[in-house]
Amino acid sequence: MLLITDRPEQSHKLDRLLSLWGPCAVVDLNRPVAVRPASRHLLISDVDLSNRASVEAVRRTLASHRSAGTPFLCLLRDPSPRTAVQANAIGASAVLSADAPAKVLLGEVGRMLNGGGDSQPVQQQFVAASVVVADMLERAARGDALSPAALDGGIEAINRAADQRDLGAWLDMVWSHDDATYQHCLLVAGLAAAFAERLSFPETARRLVTGAALLHDVGKARVPLAILHKPGALTTEEMRIVREHPQVGYEMLRRQGGFEREVVDAAYSHHEYLDGSGYPRGLRADEISDLVRMITICDVYAALIERRSYKAPMAPEQAYGTLAAMTGKLDPDLLRAFRQVILPN
């Protein structure tokens, strides 16, 4: 995708949100820098169409990057007939208010990327969950309280996606996301939801497991993006900062209050191993709950199959073999049950 904007101070948030559907390049009309022409699946503009110079700059950018048939979504800051006419004049395939909720924006982007057809149920649920993850991480990064209502909506969407028993479709959509933190949260939550569904947990227990998975890495919202997105090995100091995220997440959820004890515990303990070799507290065996054991299995598996610029993803069979080789660290009974989630055949 290509985002054309004249307000770069707001483009980072929009760019990160759009990365749900894949890599997104940005053209800042205030500081034009050559962006190598490439095959684009979608062009998006967030520009003041009442400014004639900006309109002409958008025209030039579109001429450089738009191929025949490439859809173009124009975000309107002023939803007046005049700006709508201007959007059509520069070739907009669709228009949307620049103030549209994130769920509406992502839904329209997904529709346009899929040729204008209606999205499938799992895709709709994935979009809903992605919006919740974006809101959660942004609030956490700012130090604001998380929204219980939004989190409940995300949990519901992920569980209903798990009902479809199409983990492959969920993984494909997760892997299209260009933001590693969003990708990991959605991947672990989807795996945990499928795990709980496969174990025939009642709905209340399923919501607890999925909620714990959704929030397990909330502490990473306080880790600098330069570290989270570093394309290579971390230094000793950077690793120390990353390893603080369970404590940070625990403190964050505990201070806000209103979260189930098991959810807070998952944020604190998902890097603990049964043999005491984990962190941050070196818990052992009976000190680690069954729910945390489930989240840990999903978390480790997700890290193995994730796609990163510096490593190739493991195939499911290889990743499961790696888990099985972690003798004494993971719950063997739960691990055998997890195999039916990821390798059902």
- Residues involved in catalysis: 220
Cis bond before residue 224 (omega within 30° of 0): no
Sign of the torsion angle spanned by Cα atoms 59, 65, 67, 72 = negative
Phi, psi of 9 (to 5 degrees): -65, -25
Q: Is the dihedral of CA 206, 212, 215, 220 positive or negative?
A: negative
Longest CA span, the chain: 68
Distance of CA 177 to the CA centre of its chain: 6
Q: Which residues pair with 73 in a beta bridge?
A: 44, 94
Classify 278 as helix, strand or coil. coil
Nearest CA among 41, 219, 200 for reference residue 136 = 219
Measure the CA angle with vertex 337, ends 333 and 339; round to 5°.
120
Q: Do residues 1 and 44 touch, judged by C-beta distance below 8 A?
A: yes
- Residue of 16, 13, 6 whose CA lies nearest to 46: 6
Reduce the DSSP state of residue 72 to 3 states and report it: strand
The Cα 145–Cα 136 span in angstroms is 9
* Burial (Cβ within 10 Å: 0-12, 13-18, ≥19) of residue 82: exposed
